[in-house]
Chains A and B, each alone.
Chain A
């Protein structure tokens, strides 16, 4: 809801990171939290309060699928896997994110901005 959106970096960022993590390796919720935290050198704290609704959204959009299984640590877990349409979606998202990031950088970096 509105609160989660404001805690996100920007709308869709969390979903993108989840999909990217899952592209490397299928994982369950807890592992996703750990993984994103480690990969970002603890810069990004994923809140469970946002993670699970996001996972449900992805499930509903059929970008990921979930199966009950057993983890490497021998725990019963629900493992999420990226789907083919999830992969396509991720690629689109990343390319549009890169363009946006480039735009933001141009605006924020006055030296390279043609307008100044």
Chain B
């Protein structure tokens, strides 16, 4: 038969066991739910304080403590209270918040931190090592749990109960489970906090650097002071988080400041044009005289400024103003004044330092801009002068080309018809004249002579035009030079042949002293012939009787060619002038010029183009020697 009694007992036992299991299961579910909620809550935020508060909320829901403290490890050994709860019932919570101690000094805490185990003191009155502090007078039952991340203790939290033996193993178990999640969240928050701080610091620095760079770039690209100051004011407002910033310049006698630049984030009217006298404004005076930055925390009431200035501050709702000297080349030229319009917003020491850094940047920028401007103005002026000279030269060239053209056409008619008239007279008319009529004969002779003069002077005019064009071309660098190896003897021979008729006309003799085997030169044959012709015809022109000597010799790696006459000579003072354009020596009003005034200047240009020199040796009444040199071409000799 069935032993009902035993069976019932068994069933009861089983039921009881099931109920215990069920309770345990429920507890587990509850714990899981709590952990899940904790996980969710603790990952909601990255703000450390918010996380600690959330954690204390959660703890209280599952372990109804009387008071609790979360302490975090700082500097390796010091535990510092970061969040407290529930102390107001027993003491001033500030006492609990102020708790900070070396964990090794308290055995129970030391064990929690070092061994990373939770610790329960069922009754502190029975515990010999309990350390009493003002905020722990009420604590009877104590549960402490380590906060561990990756094997490292970052802090602990402790729960207090004013009655003994309240905390159970279940509580301890839950507290440990929650500690794991809390530690992770705390670590994340701290990491984020330091990361954030570093990033903010880096961002601030980057912003400042950026602004300074921007300012430096901007001011080097603008030339006027006011634009630089406008930019500076705007940058200061941004960097100092100021309401506005005005920049004022001192007047010439340094008695007034006038605001010339202004930037603002608000919508109050511009301060540009505001005039602030230095008299009675002690703070402003000090800024200018001592080059000192001054912060007026209560700008509307400061005794350091006068009534009028304080009134301006009130009108503009300026709360705090920073006054900083503006320097140019080491001189104070004005002030920079950022301000705030929020009560209690006073510029910090750090902001003052930043402002001063910006101030020195502005000073440097102003100096740079000034130097830049001066350099640019100088080079612009030089460029303008050069362009003007070039334009003048171009228009001169064009003018000369046109004048030349306009002169040549009538000259062609004058010379051409004169020549035709001359021929007609000689060939057809003079032979028809009655021989023996002296008057007619004399007239015929005069007509012939006059026609000769017209032709000669017309040719002189032609030469002058050609010389003007030649000189202009050489000076403008437009002359075509055809350089070739030349035997100088040939050049001289060509020139003497061309001038032979001049010697005949004046009955002068030509003496040539040309040594054999003269070295070659590199040169433009036609132009060198032109030089020698010019010197010889000059010599003939100024010599009335005697001879003209042409000599060539080698000396110091050069060939020297000289043409000596027995003419009137040239005074020493006049000698340098003969190579200048239109500077014929002598009084042009009384002495009739005999050349174009351009022959020697052209000779000089030609000789110098060949790398030689030209000069005159003379004394009044003793004739002149015109000489020029040419570099020898590779020391080759013509007879090689």
Asked if A pairs with B, the answer is: no
